[in-house]
Structure 1
Amino acid sequence: MGKMPQKGLSGSTLKLIAIITMLIDHIGAAVIARLLIAGQGSEMLYKIYYAMRAVGRVAFPIFCFLLVEGFFYTGSRKKYALRLFGFALLSEIPFDLAFSGKILEFGYQNVFFTLLIGLLTIMLFDAVVKKQEWHPVLRSALLVIITFGGMGAAYLLHTDYDAKGVLAILVFYMTRQMRGLQIVAGCLAFCWELPAIVAFIPIAFYNGKRGWNIKYLFYAFYPVHLLVLYLICVGMGTAQIAVV
């Protein structure tokens, strides 16, 4: 007999939920927003826009959660960080085209940079936590410096979700061993953006399994879908309108 299916949601299912809600959000932010700015929108289109942006708030908490899970399951954290860095660079031009209509716009950076800074922050955090032989005061001081250093880097670089995103990743990391506390703390970390709290419903059903091997789906999908959205805007004649 074959194995009984694992109850709950696998990591790949959560990733698909995040990708779909992100796509809905970006259609609203990159395509519909331009129509509204150009004065081509109706009252119904405004309602659709706000609904799509609300749905899109679900994506980022799931990506933060999966980043932390990946941190503990990856065979090489260094390669994990390098992979995020590579796709951050690869995605920047599609991201800038989709939201500013420019090839390069340094006022706002894509979400891969936020995830990368968050990963580097918890890598340093984890290294210090494991130094049990160090004096508690020294360890505590270093953890505070690392926390504010990571948040500060995201803020100064103007990454998507900036310091709040790095803090959320740290919250997921620090509460990982206690799922109930992780969900409560995660909700508090996103209380400034209420629709994002819906993300913790599927997160609560995570079964700890990877699921389908779609490791590179998000990496590839992110720059490709942004480029497609930009080309749609080119076709509508609204590509030069900046929305960020």
Structure 2
Amino acid sequence: MSILKKGFTTFDIKVIGIILMVIDHIHQMFFYTVPSWVDWFGRPVATMFFFVSVIGFSHTRNKGKYLSRLYIGTVVMSLGSPLLSDWIAHTGPMENFGLSNNIFRDLFLGVILMYGVDFIVEYRVNKHKADLWKGIGLLLLPILLALPMVFMTMLPIPVILGYTALVPSMLTAENSFLIYMIPLLYCFRNNRLVQSAVIALGAMIGSLAFGTSQWFMVLAIIPILLYNGQKGPGMRNFFYLFYPIHIWILYAISCFVSSQWFS
């Protein structure tokens, strides 16, 4: 009852998110021994971080720095993960298992989309058509950036890998088209019930596209409805560092265990 009265700060939601995320990544990295239903714990996580990014974008004093931090995180993960997987020798189930995790990419694209919403809102105020076209262009940008990949199949692999590492797009986002939940959550940032409806709709569509376990993302509604509007402790750098480090550590441990068990 005290939680219902007090509610959750954005810090609390982040902590809940990383706990569930670690459980999910334990399943991902140790899929050869951890039961598949453990994957359910991770389904609400991306949506929770989508919500937190909306709060962050709405209140940050420097949106450019916010976008830059997410892009740096995107590139670090995009370059660091394949370097790690190539460096660590592994056998058994991990032999062809590559790291593709990069929620920074989804959040970076989400900020681009929220910028697009802001330009369209600005157009509604000042009627400058340039703002309208900027807004539409930014809302379409994650899709447009994915189009070159369709025509890159004949190019050298390093070129393809370089493009996917440095140029985020909807095609390489972990949550694919579900990143468009972010601008919707932003549009309705002052209405938790409508945000909940957006999440429920996203869960329904996601379960059809990615499998029935995706439906569990609807559980993100619970902490979001309990959000009390407070920030809580900052610890921004901790969350930026924790994400890649815990994935890389779990992956390294799993590769070692796999090489021992299945060699």
- Is this contact kept in 2: 1:121–1:147, CA < 8 A? yes
Instruction: State the shift of 1:129 in Å.
Output: 1.2
Is the counterpart of residue 213 in structure 1 residue 228 in structure 2?
no
Q: 1:73 to 1:238 in 2, by over 3 A?
A: farther
List per-residue Cα deviations over 1:16-71 (Å, max 9, x = no partner): 011111111111112x22x2xxxxx4xxx4xx2x2221110111000000001000
Counterpart of 1:146 in structure 2 is 138
Instruction: State the shift of 1:230 in Å.
Output: 1.7
Q: Which amino acid letter does the alignment assign opposite residue 170 of structure 2?
A: Y
Report the TM-score, using the length of structure 2 for normalisation. 0.73
Counterpart of 1:159 in structure 2 is 173
- What SS does the aligned partner of 1:188 have? helix
Is the counterpart of residue 115 in structure 1 residue 107 in structure 2?
yes
Q: Which amino acid letter does the alignment assign opposite residue 231 of structure 1?
A: A
Instruction: State the shift of 1:92 in Å.
Output: 2.6
Identity %: 26
Q: Higher mean Cα deviation, 108-117 or 147-156? A: 147-156
> Quick one: which of 72, 75, 81 aligns to 1:89?
75
- What SS does the aligned partner of 1:237 have? helix
List per-residue Cα deviations over 1:136-177 (Å, max 9, x = no partner): 8x83x6644432323454323x12112222x01111111112
Counterpart of 1:188 in structure 2 is 201
CA RMSD of aligned residues (A): 2.8
Counterpart of 2:209 in structure 1 is none
Counterpart of 2:190 in structure 1 is 177
Is the counterpart of residue 133 in structure 1 residue 126 in structure 2?
yes
Counterpart of 2:12 in structure 1 is 13
Q: Higher mean Cα deviation, 79-88 or 209-218? A: 209-218
Q: Quote the Cα distance in structure 2 between the aligned partners of 1:97 and 1:24.
A: 24
- Is this contact kept in 2: 1:88–1:113, CA < 8 A? yes
> Quick one: which of 51, 56, 60 aligns to 1:65?
51
Gaps of 5+ in 1: 1-5, 36-40
Report the TM-score, using the length of structure 1 for normalisation. 0.78
- Is this contact kept in 2: 1:25–1:52, CA < 8 A? yes
- What SS does the aligned partner of 1:186 have? helix
Q: Quote the Cα distance in structure 2 between the aligned partners of 1:22 and 1:109.
A: 11
List per-residue Cα deviations over 1:83-138 (Å, max 9, x = no partner): 1111122223454468xx336x99956111111011012113212311222268x8
Q: Quote the Cα distance in structure 1 between the aligned partners of 2:24 and 2:257.
A: 19
Q: Quote the Cα distance in structure 1 between the aligned partners of 2:143 and 2:11.
A: 28
Gaps of 5+ in 2: 88-96, 146-168, 207-213
- Is this contact kept in 1: 2:110–2:183, CA < 8 A? yes
Q: Quote the Cα distance in structure 2 between the aligned partners of 1:162 and 1:65.
A: 17
Q: Quote the Cα distance in structure 1 between the aligned partners of 2:219 and 2:38.
A: 14
Q: Which amino acid letter does the alignment assign opposite residue 51 of structure 1?
A: W
- Is this contact kept in 2: 1:183–1:200, CA < 8 A? yes
Q: 1:218 to 1:164 in 2, by over 3 A?
A: same
- Is this contact kept in 2: 1:91–1:222, CA < 8 A? no
Instruction: State the shift of 1:190 in Å.
Output: 2.5
Q: Quote the Cα distance in structure 1 between the aligned partners of 2:98 and 2:134.
A: 30
